[in-house]
Amino acid sequence: MFYAPWCGHCKKLKPEFEKAASILQTNDPPVTLAKVDCTEAGKDTCNKFSVTGYPTLKIFRNGGIVKYMKSQVGPSAKLLKSKDEFEKFLNEPDVSVVGFFKSASPLKDAYQKVADSLREKFRFSITEEQDILSQNSIENGVKLFRPKHLHNKFEPSSLEYSGDANKDSLEKWLKKNIHGLVDHRQRDNMEDFKNPLVVAYYNVDYSKNPKGTNYWRNRILKVAQNFASDFTFAVSAKDDFQHELNEFGYDYVPSEKPIVFARSADNKKFAMSEEFSVENFESFLTKLKAGELEPYLKSEPIPENNDKPVTIAVAKNFEDVVTKNGKDTLIEFYAPWCGHCKKLAPVWDELGEKMADEDIAVVKMDATSNDVPSPYEVRGFPTLYWAPKDSKSSPVTYSGGRDLDDFVKYIAQHATNELKGYDRKGNAKPKSGKEEL
């Protein structure tokens, strides 16, 4: 971990990194975690390894963090030499993939290539021991075993591959089946779960409360099995995904029962408003599939008075004040707590006044209290976009200076029509003689 002592993200990562280090000390083979202060004696080391931001994590071979690091050491497919090693491999709390090969074969070659390319997502092993082959009634094949804490009566606990003996087919099969019907969605695997997605959020904790966790998961499974071809399903710990709860207007989960949120294929949001029950969940999915539900839109109220030089956008009026306003638009997405945003505020107000008589809209939107519509993307604050009036579908990120003069020059140069008060270089046009008098 390459870090700087003043870096806020580094301070947040430090306790997790140290916790991971203590766990990985006992891993087989062992994994060492190290940290380098790029502001002190480690400057040369950081330059050597092209560190340009903090924190930067780099993997050094032969030398979620725990899961990822475990996948990076040793062979991509662990050799199992006995039944005990086989059972031990299956007892890990992650999906296990085992290649059973009595002799050389095209499938064995494909399996090894897949293990090399997917070692970060799956735990692979390989065996030629006759006792293990006989126990599993297989001599040349591949099986995927679900972790034991996720076994349930609604889907098989293991699957055997029956496709072609080539890398692409096997890899596609594994990716399709890795998560099963309703998997445990966590921060380190959340990118695997694609829309249309239905997630139940509650106190998911397989370490301290596996029985309670599966109590609710089994009820979700019971309904999900009838919609498996329509949606991807998952359960997630509410505390790990508070930011997603916030996106649906929840500061906390008021009940021990799950709350259910969904996203359609085009990323529209839907919330199950009724208290969770098998019947209510099934009704929600039926209506969602039929397109009978209104999407959820997180929005502040539309301002009653919005005639100031800087227009206020909220999710509910965004189309009117930005997309269809008929003007070139410079929009700021901000957060109320953001220091840089507070510093920009008086400049933004002054810019609005400068552009008041122009065919230009200066707009601001609280991106923490409103859904930001596509194609705009906000990953930090403030985020600024320029949206020409004739191509609002393709806004451009503004990355120039943040002084008033910088904004004026940018607008003057990029405006669809030349400004009344400024030439294309941003120089103020001389006023008429009548105005001078």
At 206, which CATH number? 3.40.30.10
Q: Identify whether 344 is part of a domain.
A: yes
Statement to judge: residues 61 and 22 lie in one domain: yes
DSSP 242: H
The CA distance from 42 to 39, in Å, is: 7
Is 326 found in the same domain as 407? yes
Confidence of residue 242 (pLDDT cuts 50, 70, 90): confident
Mean pLDDT, rounded, for 380-408: 91
Q: Which of 7, 33, 36, 228 is catalytic?
A: 7
Is 34 part of any domain? yes
Mean of pLDDT over the chain: 91
In the three-class reduction of DSSP (H, G, I as helix; E, B as strand; rest coil), residue 246 is classed as helix
8 A C-beta contact, residue 290 and residue 315: no
Q: Of 48, 72, 96, which marks where a domain is finished?
A: 72
pLDDT digits (tens, 9 = 90+) for 247-294: 898 877 778 999 999 999 999 999 999 999 999 999 999 999 999 999
The rounded distance, in Å, linking the Cα atoms of 397 and 387 is 9
> Of 72, 97, 113, which marks where a domain is finished?
72
Rounded average pLDDT over 365-390? 91
Q: Is residue 223 part of a domain?
A: yes
- In this prediction the pTM is 0.71
Residue 54 has pLDDT above 70, yes or no: yes
Asked if 224 and 317 sit in the same domain, the reply is no
Count of CB atoms within 10 A of residue 176's CB?
Answer: 9
- In-domain check, residue 93: yes
Residue 434 falls within a domain, yes or no? Answer: no
Q: Which of 10, 181, 321, 355 is catalytic?
A: 10
Following CA atoms 195, 200, 206, 207 in sequence, which dihedral angle do they give, to the nearest 10 degrees? 100
Is 38 annotated in the active site? no
Same-domain check for residues 250 and 343: no
The reply to whether 46 belongs to the active site is no
Segments forming the whole domain that contains residue 234: 196-290
For residues 269 and 314, membership in a common domain is answered with no
Please report whether residue 304 resides in a domain.
no
Total domain count for the chain?
4
- Per the annotation, the verdict on 7 as an active-site residue is yes
Dist. CA 54–CA 38, nearest whole Å: 9
Structural contact between residues 364 and 347, judged by C-beta atoms closer than 8 angstroms:
no
**CA-based nearest residue to 154, from 181, 121, 184, 122:** 181
Of 118, 221, 341, 412, the catalytic one is 341
AA letter at 245 = L
Answer yes or no: do 54 and 84 share one domain. Answer: no
Residue linked to tokens 């999900």: 224
Which among 351, 357, 361, 405 is positioned nearest to 386, based on CA atoms? 361
**How far is residue 248's CA from residue 272's CA, in Å, rounded to a whole number?**
10
In this structure, are 154 and 205 located in the same domain?
no
C-beta contacts of 270-278 below 8 A and 24+ residues apart: 270/295, 270/296, 271/296, 276/200, 276/216, 278/219, 278/222, 278/223
Quick one: 361 exposed, middle or buried, by C-beta within 10 A (0-12, 13-18, 19+)? buried
Spatial separation of the C-alpha atoms in residues 349 and 334, rounded to whole Å: 14
The answer to whether position 163 is within a domain reads: yes
Whether 265 and 215 map to the same domain: the answer is yes
Quick check: is 420 in a domain? no
435 has a pLDDT exceeding 50: no
Q: What band does 66 get if pLDDT is binned at 50, 70 and 90? A: low
Catalytic option among 23, 33, 73, 338: 338
**10 catalytically annotated:** yes
